[in-house]
Structure 1
């Protein structure tokens, strides 16, 4: 049956996004520690640590580019919501599915196609830092231009399948609805308590 493989695939894709998001979130702590170290070395010891300074840029790039899919998974992207919050779960699922097909997926494919030759060229020449003594791995950092759309496609596909599974009756709620119900205030219960 098709149901079981699709539900398993949703779990695998969303687990990948969750795992990578939690893993790279630790880089924010390391960024703070490295920035403090750079400031101490520069202002107290008069030592300019270029590799450390550049490592902050690398970590920031990784957090921003690879954290986008994790942010998408938890519906934390900035959203101009005029009508969406009033929609039923079914309409929200349909809107999210259409949004993936006509917005997210084409933009991600465009980014991959547009960046692929550039990233390959940088790997061929092994581009490094323009600063003396800087990190020699700029080509790896530029690979994030491909990692961003790929991870977004992975999470977008998971959400698309999750919503499809909901519409087919295989899941009780569409993607993101669990978080909405968990964080929503229990107004009905309070009213019943006051009237009871």
Structure 2
């Protein structure tokens, strides 16, 4: 790699987990909130876009569950019945153990990329001792505090750890969260790609850096959903019970299946 390319990589490494990046995101968030307070229909637009994004991503990657099942069936048939030890697609040929361990990636996709979709759909399990018995406005206050004090901070902290966790398995010398930009520029002279390719078995799945990418995607989606949840809770607090569930795009089982919906 040329020195300029190496310096670009180190700049990305630094700013992706930096205070400056966090400050820029929060500045944009505060500005968007001020605009939304000025015109509530704009804030509802934020909610619809962010929840729509979570739904779109979740609905797409939920198909990984079907793919996981079909691939597992194929592996069982090839291994137990046809005694095949390898699956190849053109120049891409891997041992059956590789395809078997790769199933964990589909599971990780569902967990990481469908979490916010499940949140929008109200599908997460809730342990509720107080929430159901309080008034509409009190619920919205609890929701706003939950998004500000729990969802956002956890997403930011997890991102900070995940960001450097990813890059330490992509390049060498390994970057550290305590490295300044100047120190990373010095390291840039010796930087080279060192993508993690170690599997748990000799012929097993070896692209475990993808799990670290998914962890970052999960943090980003959770942060965006925390913003959407705060905005929705605030708007429902201001506009009253009649606005509850406004513009909410929830899946349905179809006509005649209403009794089964929401029972999870």
* TM-score band, normalised by shorter chain: 0.7 to 0.9
1:159 aligns with 2:229: yes
Relative to total residues, which structure has the larger strand share, 1 or 2? 2
Q: What are the superposed Cα offsets for residues 93-152 of structure 1, whole Å, 9 maximum, x if unpaired? A: 111110111111111111111111111122322112424444453212221121112111
Q: Choose the corresponding residue for 1:121, options 152, 165, 168.
A: 168
Structure 1 contact 108–150 (Cα < 8 Å) conserved: yes
Name the CA distance, whole Å, in 1 between partners of 2:164 and 2:211. 15
Aligned residues of 1:41 and 1:47 also touching (Cα < 8 A): yes
Distance 1:164 1:153 in 2: 17
Contact 1:93 1:175 in 2 (8 A): no
**Deviation per residue, 1:150-171 (Å, 9 max, x gap):** 1111112111101111222288
In structure 2, the CA distance between the partners of 1:32 and 1:164, relative to structure 1 (3 Å rule), is same
CA contact (8 A) 1:159 1:175 kept: no
* Structure 2 contact 136–241 (Cα < 8 Å) conserved: no
State the alpha-carbon separation in 1 of the partners of residues 207 and 241 from structure 2.
Answer: 44
Match for residue 123 of structure 2 among 76, 81, 105: 76
Partner of 1:106: 153
Per the alignment, residue 144 of structure 2 pairs with 97
Match of 1:21 in 2: 58
User: Contact conserved, 1:93 with 1:174, CA < 8 A, in 2?
Assistant: no
Report SS of the residue matched to 1:77: coil
CA deviations 1:39-97 (Å, max 9, x no partner) are 11121123341232133111110001111111111222121111111122211111111
Aligned residues: 182
Mark the CA change 1:113 to 1:148 in structure 2 (over 3 Å): closer, same or farther: same
Q: Which blocks of at least 5 consecutive residues in structure 1 are unaligned? A: 185-196
C-alpha contact 2:144 2:230 (8 A) present in aligned 1: yes
Take 1:142 and 1:102, find their aligned partners in 2: how far apart are those partners? 25
Unaligned ranges ≥5, structure 2: 1-37, 86-95, 172-193, 251-257, 260-264
Cα drift, residue 32 of structure 1: 0.5
Q: TM-score by structure 2 length?
A: 0.62
